[in-house]
Structure 1
């Protein structure tokens, strides 16, 4: 996927980047830049900036000096953390326990990214941690858990892996629904009798709470834009498609 920066308005930019599996298949990745107030910015997730995208970000952020924090929301998205810490050395670096364990050489804040303390510092955003499934799964390749971030002013939802969309411009986009629940969710369920029910209730609450979403920014696909009133039924339909497999996994 080409490196691009998409201005979604109201101080929210989604940055699309490349992530090649085995050096061949590009599944894409992303981060987002959020303007909190004049001369204050934060990143959601990390991505190594280059070319014209880097130039645009630096121009927006006074050569990076206005970036005050990097919030690494997904515990398994660690490839670009060092690059971001290098490019924005003055920014506070937030991450999960796995970030801290995987990259102990970086100056991580003692406050975990999913903590209430971090959420309280950024009232411009709303956060929600996946429920009923492990945030950091011990099972190899199971990355369904994440911390989701919603920017109400721009109606933009930033999500990694938990919810997804088909790759744009290919055959899968024609045959898959516009958004879907991560297939790995069934393996991420906590070892509790009602874990699937807790997860489904969490998704339903998000569909209500963030029903105004118009910009759905997913990590490994692209930007899906909804008209007013379209997001909630799309997410609930995705949940109903996934529900039987989740219940069977209990």
Structure 2
């Protein structure tokens, strides 16, 4: 993996970042920059910008002054928040309750990122919390919960951990029968202690396949981005749901 910017429709930029485990294994991470209709910008997630990527982002955003807000949508993605707050001091920072506890030096907004107030503030973005799983798990190793964000103008879906993209050639994917979209490997550990939790998650993912069927690019942290032709995202996500449902619900079909 290498740091890069992927531009979508000149209104959405996905920044592929580095995240090294133990200083060696690079599992990658991401943030995205979205240009709103009135010329303002918002970030989805935080990342420390360096070198050419930083220069390009600053050039796009009037040296950062046009960045209105940073929406930190994954409660366990906190490593870069403090630096982001230094780089964009005029922006409003939204996060979960965990962000506030983990990075108290940031002046967090009173409204949490998953609140109705934030949803109303940014009508050009669609938000969705997965049903049936913990958004903030008590188990620090379970990161399946996140707030998904869809930007209709670019067809980009920004998602951390809940959905993954396995960067495999199509021929290998077909031979191994591996879906284009995968759920987080610890999804089952994130299920609520309720008998219908798995079914609720699968039903929610099915609704995403329908409501966000115009997704053309899936931007996933720690894995890759994936492009979709018309209707292909919905079909891919439904295939993933169908494969996962028996294991999540205990059903035979």
Fold match (TM-score > 0.5): yes
Superposition CA RMSD, Å: 1.7
The equivalent of 1:235 in structure 2 is 237
The equivalent of 2:193 in structure 1 is 191
Provide, for residues 123-151 of structure 1, a one-character-per-residue CA deviation record: whole Å limited to 9, x for no partner: 01000011100000012311111100000
Secondary structure of 2:59's counterpart equals: helix
Equivalent residues of 1:7, 1:13 under 8 A apart: yes
| Offset, 1:37 | 2.8
Equivalent residues of 2:127, 2:148 under 8 A apart: yes
Equivalent residues of 2:74, 2:145 under 8 A apart: yes
Structure 1 Cα separation of the partners of residues 241 and 83 of structure 2: 36
Provide, for residues 189-244 of structure 1, a one-character-per-residue CA deviation record: whole Å limited to 9, x for no partner: 11111111111110111000001111000011111001111000100111112112
Q: How does 1:66-215 map to 2 (within 5 A)?
A: 66-167=66-167, 175=176, 176-215=178-217
- Provide the TM-score with structure 2 as the length reference: 0.94
Equivalent residues of 2:179, 2:239 under 8 A apart: no
Equivalent residues of 1:11, 1:34 under 8 A apart: yes
Q: Unaligned 5+ residue runs, structure 2? A: none
Q: Unaligned 5+ residue runs, structure 1? A: none
1:104–1:173 CA distance, 2 compared to 1 (3 A): farther
Equivalent residues of 1:167, 1:220 under 8 A apart: no
| Offset, 1:105 | 1.5
Q: How many residues align?
A: 248
